[in-house]
Every structure is written in structure tokens, then in C-alpha cells.
Chain A
Amino acid sequence: MKHRKSSQLLQQLVFVGPSIVFFILIIVVPFLLGMYYSFTDWNGVSENINWVGFDNFLHIFANDPKFQTAFWFTVRFTVVGVVLTNIIGFFLAYFLTKPLKTRNILRTIFFMPNVIGGLLLGFIWQFIFVKGFSAVGDVTGWSFFNLPWLGDEPTAFWGIVIVFVWQTAGYLMVIYISSLTNVSPDLLEAAEIDGASRWQVLRSIILPLIMPGVTICLFLAISWSFKMFDLNLSLTKGGPFGSTESVALNIYNEAFVNNRYGIGTAKALIFFVIVAIITMIQVRLTKSKEVEA
């Protein structure tokens, strides 16, 4: 009996031990430590760390207009980015589940930007916005292309949105394709015989049936856009004048540029709480809309 117990313990250690160790060292300890730092005035280097209570949080809410700008930028970006990338991803999938001759190669093309990391993509598009767009503008004469794209507040926002959609729509397309191919053709045929229009079929039959796919895609798109960092860094670095600084970039700058670890970790904690709340609301909302055929 005793032997058995000790062999169970050994198995637990061998099988689960390594994962637990890395998980605790790399996620749990920093997470708890971050909570502690967020109530201190630590600068990242100094030996003395003073407990300051809620001062950091008060500072962030009352005296940090840059964080508020970053927060609203991130919210606007998330709303616009999530809606656009899902609509485009869905329609790419919708048309690429039709019997097109080129559909396999098109699927490859639409997905391809996604395998490239955000940092390199951002640099590629920096060139497109700076040189490529003006060249297209010269050829076509369309003033749209001659805008100062990354150099001006409103267009810089849309610049990041364009690159984000270009990068992520293909990924969502793949998920939507797999949802769409699961919709039974019999159902669609039946609806057509009953005289439903293409729009009605899409809205009343296809959409409710692919709701699990929609949940996943919304979830992914929200989490990508809300946590956007790489694209932001390589496209605009938050500029012009901090107008396109995401929360993630703001946290990074606070800690590693301004060396205010206390305030940085406080922001990081706020960021975590918001992400957790959004995730929970979103999963609950869309799960309740799922229908079974």
C-alpha cells in the first residue's frame, strides 16, 4: 500500500512536475510579484522599494492623460479591427467555399500574411505607406494614396487597421471555412426550395449554425487587437505624438523607457483585469447564441 502511494507520487512528479515548475517560475511568480510591485514606487534598479498603497492607481486614473489616450486608442482600434477582420474573414470564407477553380491557391494567398510576424509585417508596410502609396498615387492620381498615412493622426489609425486586417483576416477565414463546410447542404437546399433569398439563407440559417465559429473568431480577434504590440511598434511606435500608442506599448514604455516599474505594473494589472472581463463577457454572450441543427 505504501509502495503504491510512493509510486503514485513519483508518477505525479515525473509527468506533471516539469510543467508545474516552468509554469510557476515563468507565470505565477511574475504575476504575483507584479501585483506587489503595483503598490510600490520601485524604479526597477534601486534597492529600496517603498509601499505606496493605491497611489499608482490614483495617478493612472487622475494624472496620466497618455494612458487614457492609449486606452481609448486601443478600444477604438479593437472595435474597428474586430468588426472589419471578421466581416472580411467571413466573406472570404463564404466565397471560397463555393466551387471556384482558384480557391485553393486563393486560400493560400489570403492566409500567407498571417505566418509572418507582426514586427516584420509592420516594417514591410511602413515601406508601403511611405514609398509604395505615393508611387501608386502618382500613377493613378488618387489623392487617397498621397495622404501622409503614418504621419498624421487619423490616417495613422487607419494605417494600423489596414495592416491588422490584412494580417488576421486569413486566419479567421480558415476557421470560418471549417464552420461553413459543416453546415449541411440539405438545409440550404431546403431553404432555397422554400424560396428564401440568398441574404435570408445567410442571415437566418448559416449565421446561427456557425455561431461556435463566430465565438472563436471574435475571441481571437479581440485578444489580438486588444493586446496589439508588434505592429504598433514597427509601424508608428505610437506616433504621431502618442496618438496611436496602444495600452500594451504604453505599459512597455512606462516600465522600460521611463523606468517606473511601480506604475508600469499597476497599468499591467489594470490591463489584465480588463482583458479577463472582456474575455468572460464575450464567451458568455456568444455561447448563449449557439444553435444546433
Chain B
Amino acid sequence: METTKNYRFSTIVTEFIMVLIGLLFLVPFYFLFVNSVKTFGDLLTNSAAWPEVFQWGNYANAWEKIKFPSALMNSLIVTVVSNLLLVLISSMAAYRMVRSDTRFNRILFGMFIAAMVIPFQSIMIPLVTVTSNLGLIDSLGGLIICYLGFGAPMSVFLFHGFVKSVPLEIEEAARVDGSSVYGVFFRIVFPLMKPMYVTVIILNTLWIWNDYLLPSLILQSSNLRTIPIATFALFGQYTKQWDLALPALVLGIMPIIIFFLLMQKYIIQGITAGSVKG
């Protein structure tokens, strides 16, 4: 009896402390939202208080200044297309590398793993030269091609581990029934890889959607800006204009927060699976 009472008491204390820490984690969001709808004067005098009047016009202003629809569209195009192509090319490569264990493929796989160690900043300078020579500068397509290159090593690595667990017998049965190698891959192996491509898509989405540095080097035109680029440009242009900057930040984080809340289960699974293998 004594122990259960103790147990309950300590759980309640733990619960209380954790909720407090949780609220502490949310404080920055409180400041962000509350101040995003204040008038500039109100915001300067007391940024901790609840707004006196809700100035929703701040959002209309920010929406226009960062060209939100265009930035959102560009971010979506780059993230979605890069993801689809990455899943396709890297699952195919991983499948082949597992099933055809040649010396060439082993060396190639080793190179992919080694490349995962290279920090982006180590190759960004010559990358600008290479991409401008290839005509990839200032286009969303060019940016997507860069993501295919940077994303391939880790995606191939994750699929590689997964393909090894796919039993060969299923494929052999299909081969006997007359399917080609391509048919076996697309009709049998690819559907089996679903858990892994969910992981790969989640990891790549969080990376590509939030990436600033690579798009800042590749894209130049203002109509091609993704959300991080548009936000950075706004901050460069209107320093300390918080009544414009804060609603822009809220708009900027909204899509990924909504994605997170909807896909939470998969995201948590995805990063657990992805990091255990990484």
C-alpha cells in the first residue's frame, strides 16, 4: 500500500514537472503568434502581453511581401519531385546492388557510404562552378538534380539494408512465372518496400523542405524562391520590422507544422528506423 501511494505521488510530481517543461518549450511559439497580430507600437511596448487589438492585416501584408503562394508552390514542387525521383532511383540502385553482388557494386556502395560523411560546406564552392557549367543554376529543375545527387547516398543506404531482408524465394517464384527483372522489381519488390520508402520520404522531406543553403546558391530569380529563401530575403530587406517579419515566419512554419501533426506517427517511426540504420 505504502509503495503504490509513493509511486503515484512520484508519478504526479514527474507529470507536473514535465508539463511545465513542455510549456517552456512552447513559450517561443506563444511569443511568435501573439506578436504576429499586434500593431508595431503594441509589439514594441510589451511583447509578452496578449494583443490589445488583433491586427490581421499584418498577415495580408506579409503574404504579399514574401509572395507566399509562389514560395509555397516552389517549395512544394522541389520537395515533392525530389522525393519521388529519389525514392525511385535509389530503391532501384539499392535493389540491383544487393541482388548483383559484383565487385563494382560493392565499391560503389562503399563510395556512397563514404560520401555520407562529406559535409555540404566542403563541396558547396566547386558545386556552384559545376552547376553553372551544367546550366543547372537558377532553375527548380537544376535544384532538384542537386537534391538527387546529395540524397542518393543515404537513400540508397537505407533501401540497401531493407532489400537484404526481402526473401529471394518470392522473386524466384515470379521469375518462374515469366516476369522480367523489371516486372519483378516494380510489381513485387517495390510494393514490399513501403515501410522503407515512408522512412526515406520523411527524412528527405524534413531536409529538403527546410534547406536554405543549397537553394540560396542555386536559385537567383525572385520568382523561384522557396520558403526559407523568401524569408531570408525579407529579413535582409526589412530589418527589425517585426510586424511584417513575425507573420511571415508564422506563414513559413505553418505548412511543415501541419505536415508534422498529420504525419506524426510516420515521422516518429521514420526517424527511429532511419537513425537506427544510420
Contact = CB atoms under 8 A, between A and B. Distances in A.
A102 interface: yes
A14 B245 contact: no
A82 B27 CA distance: 23
A111 to B, nearest CB: 7
A16 B108 contact: yes
What DSSP secondary structure best describes chain B's contact surface?
Answer: helix
B156 to A, nearest CB: 6
Interface string B7-26: 00001001101110110011
20 contacts: A23-B153, A25-B130, A26-B146, A30-B130, A34-B123, A34-B125, A44-B125, A95-B18, A100-B11, A106-B22, A115-B210, A116-B210, A119-B212, A120-B210, A132-B48, A135-B48, A138-B46, A174-B272, A227-B119, A272-B119
Counting chain A CB atoms within 10 Å of each CB, the highest count among B90, B127, B153, B217 belongs to: B127
Interface stretch (B51-59, B92-100, B171-179, B191-199): B92-100
B275 A216 contact: yes
B18 A106 contact: yes
B257 A33 contact: no
B48 A109 contact: no
B109 to A, nearest CB: 10
Contacts of B84: none
Given A26-B146, A102-B18, A127-B32, A175 B275 contact: yes
Interface of A: 8, 11-12, 14-16, 18-20, 22-23, 25-31, 33-34, 37, 44, 92, 95-96, 98-103, 105-120, 123-125, 127-128, 131-132, 134-136, 138-139, 166, 171, 174-175, 178, 212, 216, 219-220, 223, 226-227, 229-230, 233-234, 247-248, 251-252, 255-256, 261, 264-265, 268-269, 271-272, 275-276, 279
B118 interface: yes
A125 B28 CA distance: 7
A279 B117 contact: yes
B152 A120 contact: no
Interface string B111-154: 11001011111111111011000100000000001101110110
Given A19-B156, A127-B31, A27 B149 contact: yes
B32 A268 contact: no
Which secondary structure dominates where chain A touches chain B?
helix
Contacts of A135: 46-49
B257 A112 contact: yes
B126 A37 contact: yes
A132 B134 CA distance: 47
Contact of B148 (A14, A22, A212): A22
Interface in B178-194: 181-182, 185
Given A16-B96, A127-B246, A111 B268 contact: yes
A212 B277 CA distance: 11
B90 A227 contact: no
B152 A22 contact: yes
B220 interface: no
Contacts of A33: 126, 129-130
B223 interface: no
A256 B119 CA distance: 17
Interface string B239-278: 0001001100100110011011100100110011001101
